[in-house]
Structure 1
Amino acid sequence: MHLGLYLVMGEIVCSDLTSDGAADPTALPEFLDQIDGDVCHFIADEAYDGDPTSELLVKLFGVDVEITIPPPKA
């Protein structure tokens, strides 16, 4: 299960349930399409690390979106 939260208000703004075999980044476009409004900060785990995620976020929310994703564990 994936949840998108508006942390200031504590509201769920999007959600998605994927199978164990689904890679997290492949579900991201449909997940983010549920958001009605601007995103200024995106926080995710290392499964989302990489250029495709960053490029999608900039495309959808602009170059000012702050992206916080730790690098994958070695």
Structure 2
Amino acid sequence: MSKANKELVKSLKELLTGGNAHATFEDAVKQLPAKLRGVVPDGMPYSIWQLVDHIRITQWDILEFSRDPKHTSPSW
């Protein structure tokens, strides 16, 4: 891997895991009891866990779209 690519990978890892771009997953859920993470609150369409999973799927989709020109996004 070239030096430029190594630096890019390092920067991306820091952005995604270092809390630079957003709160870490652990920080985001630390005050949310585990037993409530799958509960859909009254008046809301989704649980926090469903929203997190949607983000996970979307990130995967973006990566696959970037790597594979034949990639087809999942239907929601």
Quickly name the TM-score band, shorter chain normalised.
under 0.3
The structure number with the bigger radius of gyration is 2
Greater share of strand residues, 1 or 2?
1
TM-score normalised per structure 1: 0.27
